Amino acid sequence: MPLKKDDLIECTIESLAFGGRGVARVDGMAVFVADALPGDIVKARIVRAKKRFAEGVAETLVTPSSHRVEPKCAHFGQCGGCALQNLEYDEQLAQKAAQVQSALSRIGGVDVPMDAPAASPAIWKYRNKMEFSFERRDGGLHLGLRSQLPAGEKGLAPVLDIEECHLCAGRDMEILRMVREFCRESGIAAYDPKTQNGFWRHLIIRHTALGEVMVHVITTSDSRKFKQVEALGEALVERFTELTAFVHSSRSKRTTLAVGEYVEFRLGTKAIEEKVGHARYHISPNTFFQTNSAGAEKLFDTIREYGEFDGSETLLDLYCGAGAIGVYMADSVERVIGFEISEESIAKAFSSAKLNGLENCDFAVGSLDDGLGDLKRLPEFDIVVVDPPRSGMHENMAKALLQLAPPKIVAVSCDPATLARDVKRLSDKYEIKRARAVDMFPHTHHIETVALLVRK
C-alpha cells in the first residue's frame, strides 16, 4: 500500500542523504527522514509522498543509533548552521564519502573505487570566516545565524540570536555580541529585504592562521547613517586590539548575499594575510577563500597528488577565484594560468603571487561559459584544474573542456550531484580514475570532492 501524507511509520535508518536527512527503505521505496541518523529506529510522520520516494520527520526515537553522541552546542536543533553535531565524527566522514560514491554511480554512471576520505584536521573552531545576518522582527533588531527551517518548508528562516558557536573562534562570539548590542542601542533598524527599509545587513568576521582579523559590516547605501558605522568600527578597534582591519561597505541590491558593493569606510589594512601550507594569500573583504584553512591544505595536497606534476606542466586553473589553488601549485609546475570572472578576485590572485615571489603565474578576467573565447590563442595545457561554484560547470564550460581536451582534468566540487553531472558531460572523452571526499565542514552536511579525469 503506497505511503500517504500524515502516515506514521516505523523504520530503520540505513544511511545519510546529502543534505543531512536519514534514508530508510519502506516496501522498496526510499523515505528521507529529517532528525534521524544512520542506525536509528524511528517512528516518522510522512510530510510528503511521491510515486518514487517520500519525506518524513522523526517523531519518536524507538532505538537510538550506536553512532549518536551528545551535541556540543546549546543551539543545536534550532540553528541552521550545524546538522550533524549529534553524529560521531568518524561516521559523519564515512557517510559523506558514501554520498559522493552514490552520486557518481547514480548520476554520473561511473563506479570508481573511492580513495580514503580526508578528515578535517580540526572538527571544532575550524572556520576562518563567519557570516552573520541582521534582521528586524517583532519590533527588535536581531543578529546571528539563520534558524533551522522545519522539514518541508522553504524560504528564508528567521535569524537566531546565537550566544555560542563551536565552529569559530571564541573571539568571534565576543565581536558578534558587541556589534549586536551597539546596533540595538543605535536605534537604527535592520534591513528588511521585503520592504527594502532599514539599514544594517550583514556582519562578516574573518581571521587567518597568521592571527590577522578583519571585521566587515555591510549596510544599505543610506549615507545619513554612515557615521554610526564609523563609530562602531572605532569602538571595535579600541576593544579588540588584535583587529587588523575594519571595513564598512554598502549594498543596494535586494538579494541577501553577504557581499558589499562599495567600500565606504576603512580602518587598518586593505587586506589580511592568510597562510595555507607553504603559500600565503591576500584576502580582501569580498574575496572567496576556503573557510577551513587547515582543511584547505588537505584539499590542495590531494589536487597535487592527483596531478602527479613533474615540474614541466602548464596548468590551467579555471574558476580560479583569488588564485588559491594556482599559487599553491606554482612550485610544482612550469606555468600557471588562471581564469576567473571577478576582477577583484583576479587582483588578489596577482597580489598573492607577488607575495610568494612567484613569476610563473598569470591570471585573467574571463570565463568559458560562452565557449573557448581567448583560450584558443593560449598554449597547450597539460592539466586543467576546475573548481566551479556549487551549481557546477556551465554546460558551455564542459563543451569547451572537451574541445581543449587536456590529458588530465582535476575536478574540485562542493556538491556531489553537480560533480557527477559534470563527470557524465565529459564522459565521451574522459574516464574518472580516482576520487576522494575531503571534509572541510565537520558537523554540517557539506563535503568537498576531488576527482581525477584522464583523457581516453
| 175-226 tens-digit pLDDT | 999 999 999 999 999 999 989 999 999 999 999 999 999 999 999 999 999 9
Q: Walk across the sheet containing 448-455 and list its strands.
A: 361-365, 335-340, 314-318, 383-386, 408-413, 448-455, 430-438
In Å, what is the CA distance from 65 to each residue of 61, 96, 341? 9, 17, 46
Paired sense of beta strands 314-318 and 383-386, if any = parallel
Answer whether 289's CB lies under 8 Å from 129's CB: yes
Residues 374, 304 within the same domain: yes
Has residue 1 got a pLDDT over 70?
A: no
Q: What is the pLDDT of residues 260-277, one digit of tens each?
A: 999 999 999 999 999 999
Q: Which residues are catalytic?
A: 414
Answer whether 370's CB lies under 8 Å from 347's CB: no
pLDDT at residue 82 in the model? 92
Has residue 372 got a pLDDT over 70?
A: no
In a domain, 161, yes or no: yes
pLDDT at residue 210 in the model? 95
Q: Where are the alpha helices (DSSP H) in 148-201?
A: 170-186
Q: What is the pLDDT of residues 146-171, one digit of tens each?
A: 998 876 677 889 999 999 999 999 99
Residues 267, 158 within the same domain: yes
pLDDT at residue 371 in the model? 64
Average per-residue pLDDT in the chain? 93
Instruction: Give residue 356's pLDDT band: very low, low, confident or very high (50, 70, 90).
Output: very high
- Mean pLDDT on 409-425: 96
**What per-residue string of b and e applies to 71-85 under the rule 16 or more CB within 10 Å gives b?**
bebebbeebbbbbbb
Q: CATH number, domain at 438?
A: 3.40.50.150
Instruction: Give residue 249's pLDDT band: very low, low, confident or very high (50, 70, 90).
Output: very high
- Mean pLDDT on 368-379: 65
Q: Is 344 annotated as a binding residue?
A: no
pLDDT at residue 420 in the model? 96
Q: Which three cell numbers stand for residue 323?
A: 588564485
In a domain, 238, yes or no: yes
Residues 305, 451 within the same domain: yes
* Among candidate residues 249, 275, 301, the one where a domain is terminated: 275
Q: Which residue has the higher pLDDT, 341 or 88?
A: 88
Q: Is 126 annotated as a binding residue?
A: no
In a domain, 318, yes or no: yes
- Mean pLDDT on 357-361: 96
Instruction: Give residue 290's pLDDT band: very low, low, confident or very high (50, 70, 90).
Output: very high
Instruction: Give the count of alpha carbons within 13 A of 39, CB side only.
Output: 12
pTM: 0.93
Q: Which three cell numbers stand for residue 321?
A: 577565484
Residues 351, 435 within the same domain: yes
Query: Three-state SS for 149?
Result: coil
In a domain, 281, yes or no: no
Share of the chain above pLDDT 70, in %: 97
What's the domain range around 297? 91-122+292-455
Phi and psi, residue 424, nearest 5°: -65, -40
Indicate the number of domains in the chain. 3
Has residue 374 got a pLDDT over 60?
A: no
Residues 244, 377 within the same domain: no
Has residue 378 got a pLDDT over 80?
A: no
DSSP β-bridge partners for residue 452: 410, 434
Cα angle 127, 117, 129 (rounded to 5 degrees) comes to 10
DSSP β-bridge partners for residue 61: 42
Q: DSSP for 93-134?
A: HHHHHHHHHHHHHHTT---PPPPPPBPPS-SSS--SEEEEEE
Residues 153, 203 within the same domain: yes
Q: What is the pLDDT of residues 54-112, one digit of tens each?
A: 999 999 999 999 999 999 999 999 999 999 999 999 999 999 999 999 999 999 999 99
Q: How many CB atoms lie within 10 A of CB 263?
A: 15
Residues 204, 305 within the same domain: no
Answer whether 260's CB lies under 8 Å from 246's CB: no
Has residue 375 got a pLDDT over 70?
A: no
pLDDT at residue 51 in the model? 85
- Mean pLDDT on 304-318: 95
In a domain, 73, yes or no: no
- Mean pLDDT on 106-134: 96
